[in-house]
Amino acid sequence: MERKVNNFDCKEEKDMFFSPHPVKKDATIKEFYSLGTIIQFKVYGNKAERAIDKATDRIKDIDNKMSVFKDYSQLSKINHNAGIRAAKVDKDTYFVIRKAVEYSVLSGGAFDPTIRPVVGLWGIQTDHARIPNNDEIDAGINLVNYKDIILDEKDSSIMLKREKQELDVGAIAKGFAADEVKNVFKKNKIKSALINLGGNIFAMGNKIDGTPWNIGIQDPLKSRGEIVLSISVKNKSVVTSGNYERYFIHNGKRFHHIIDPLTGNPSEKGILSTTIVSDHSIDGDALSTCAFVMGLNRGMALIESIKGVDAIFITENKIVYSTSGIKENLSLLNNDFYYEN
């Protein structure tokens, strides 16, 4: 079947807009660094600036609560008190960690927010990135177990059972933040916006001309900005986990940031990237990491079992696979890849 090739909306916007009550035709754009990544808002409408200010505050608030790198964050409070006592947290942090535990259960432990001790050993994208030895890895994975997260909803507190255990919500917090930005925009009467938290995208509403957004999926083998395919969506989250996002190369081998909790090593299931299309970005973020670690067969089966959620897998042998619900919205734009549909 021939598919229409559209312009890629994350790159370029060409809008036609006519109205008796003119709405600012150009997008208001803001870019800044938070949550360990580059955040970009592209917002349409006369109230864009105020909405962007509010959303920026919300992102910074989430980063302050959930960063493992900030000593005063609620997450650090849980980590510092591991094996000692429960730490009180607010409803945002509680919600994100509860969701993380749900996805740990659903993925049979492929997703595990207690992965931090192993992530710390690898130090990927820090100035001390290195390959840990087997003893270090063994000691690290011994500390990883989501079943050791004690959630007390009544008390709004969270405790890690054993000393030296540590949480990391890096695989889910950006999704939560994207949902929260969307909510802030909605409250501020924004109808059309592209929210991009380092590849964790929420395409809010339609484009200003009423047509769907076209979101480009990064070519995992090329530098940033080159894409393999585009997906047409309206009011959806599109989140990608890829081995090209954070990594280092040693002796020609790539060591990336998505860790298989079973081995303590970067996940090796023949996957270059997984993309999840869903209504809520928190689900998309968690599931993109789940699917990456589970691999094509188990990952695909998991996503097909969840209503309203779709996935795109790109494998090392340059084959693109997608779930059934999304086939009509996909356009392959790069002939180096083969779309198995």
Q: Which residues bind ligand AMP (CB under 6 A)?
A: 111-113, 115, 119, 168, 170-171, 241, 245-246, 257-259, 261, 285, 288-289, 293
CB of 213 to ligand AMP, least distance (A): 21
Can you tell me the distance from the alpha carbon of 85 to that of 83, in angstroms, rounded to the nearest whole number? 6
List 171, 181, 203, 238, residue binding Mg ion (CB under 5 A): 171
Dihedrals phi, psi of 310, to nearest 5 degrees: -125, 165
Pick what 113 binds: ligand AMP, Mg ion, none; C-beta below 5 to 8 Å, kind-dependent. Answer: ligand AMP
Question: Would you say 216 or 261 has its CB closer to ligand AMP?
Answer: 261
Closer CB to ligand AMP, residue 100 or residue 333?
Answer: 100
Q: Are 229 and 240 in contact (CB under 8 A)?
A: no
Residues contacting residue 169 through CB under 8 Å, at least 6 positions apart: 66, 68, 75, 96, 97, 100, 113
Question: Residue 156 CB, nearest distance to ligand AMP (Å)?
Answer: 23
Find the shortest distance in angstroms from Cβ 47 to Mg ion: 31
Whose Cβ is closer to ligand AMP: residue 113's or residue 205's? 113
Give the nearest distance from C-beta 319 to ligand AMP in angstroms.
20
Min CB(13)–ligand AMP separation in Å: 26
- Binding partner selected for residue 78 from ligand AMP, Mg ion, none, CB under the kind-specific 5 to 8 Å limit: none
Beta strands in 118-270 (DSSP E): 149-152, 157-160, 193-197, 200-204, 213-218, 227-233, 236-242, 247-250, 253-256, 259-260, 265-266
**251 within 8 A of 189, measured Cβ to Cβ:** no
Instruction: Write the CB contacts of 275 (distance below 8 Å, at least 6 apart in sequence).
Output: 217, 231, 238, 239, 240, 288, 311, 312, 313, 314
Which residue, 10 or 48, is less far from ligand AMP as judged by CB? 10
- Residue pair 276/310 in contact by the 8 Å Cβ criterion: yes
Segment near Mg ion (CB under 5 A); pick from 35-43, 259-267, 283-291, 331-339: 283-291
Q: How far is CA 206 from the centre of its chain?
A: 21
- Contact with Mg ion (CB under 5 A) among 168, 179, 245, 285: 285
Q: Which residues of 235-274 are buried (b: 16+ CB within 10 A; e: fewer)?
A: ebbbbbbbbbbbbbeeeeeebbbbbbbeebebbebebbbb
Task: List 248's β-bridge partners, or say none.
Answer: 255
Query: Closest residue (Cβ) to Mg ion?
Result: 289
Is the CB of 184 or the CB of 287 nearer to ligand AMP?
A: 287
CB of 261 to ligand AMP, least distance (A): 5
What's the closest the beta carbon of residue 179 comes to ligand AMP, in angstroms? Answer: 14
Residue 179 binds Mg ion (CB under 5 A): no
> What is the closest distance, in whole angstroms, from the C-beta atom of residue 288 to ligand AMP in the complex?
6
Task: Give the residue from 6, 37, 29, 20 showing the smallest Cα distance to 285.
Answer: 37
Residue number of the CB atom closest to ligand AMP:
170
Query: Which CB sits closer to Mg ion, 42 or 257?
Result: 257
Contacts of 165 (CB under 8 A, 6+ apart): 79, 82, 83, 114, 117, 143, 145, 148
Return the number of the residue (219 or 285) whose C-beta is nearest ligand AMP: 285
Please state, in angstroms and as integers, the Cα–Cα distance from residue 176 to each residue in 182, 239, 259, 340, following that order. 10, 12, 21, 31
Instruction: Tell which positions 289-328 bind Mg ion, by CB under 5 A.
Output: 289
Minimal distance in Å, beta carbon 290 to ligand AMP? 8
Contact partner at residue 261 from ligand AMP, Mg ion, none, CB < 5 to 8 Å by partner kind: ligand AMP
Residues of this chain that interact with Mg ion (CB under 5 A) are: 171, 285, 288-289
